[in-house]
Amino acid sequence: MRELVAKFGSPERVNTLTEDEIARSLLEAMKQRRKDPIAGMANREHAAGELFGVGGSNFTAIADHNLQPQLERKFRKAWDKLEEQDLIEPEPATMEKTAMSG
């Protein structure tokens, strides 16, 4: 998420964080977005992708085809931890997948 790039400086730096650190940072970013109605909601499917793009103030990284999949995996695991700890609610589609697999 773009808030993580603003906080840590680059997608490469975000990739050095542990899953727990990413989970905490995701939760902080979600709280920030709740205060700004224009910011949009956080989305589990696009959270890591937001680290890559062009334009904006501090948002100038270009997609790295090796780094992005690593970050997507870390973000998925961090997001799962937040859901497992009941810190965020799963999206309905995620809840359906879990019910079908369990």
Q: What is the pLDDT of residues 8-19, one digit of tens each?
A: 988 899 999 999
pLDDT bin (cut points 50, 70, 90) of residue 51 is confident
Tell me how far apart the alpha carbons of residues 47 and 40 are, in angstroms, rounded to a whole number: 12
Q: Is the pLDDT reported for residue 56 higher than 70?
A: no
Tell me how far apart the alpha carbons of residues 79 and 69 are, in angstroms, rounded to a whole number: 15
Q: What is the pLDDT of residue 100?
A: 56
Average of pLDDT values for 54-59? 46
Q: What is the pLDDT of residue 14?
A: 92
To which residue do tokens 């369990």 refer? 102
Q: What is the pLDDT of residue 24?
A: 95
Amino acid symbol at 46: H
User: CB-based burial of residue 24 (10 Å sphere; 0-12 exposed, 13-18 middle, 19+ buried)?
Assistant: middle
pLDDT bin (cut points 50, 70, 90) of residue 33 is confident
Q: What is the pLDDT of residue 83?
A: 93
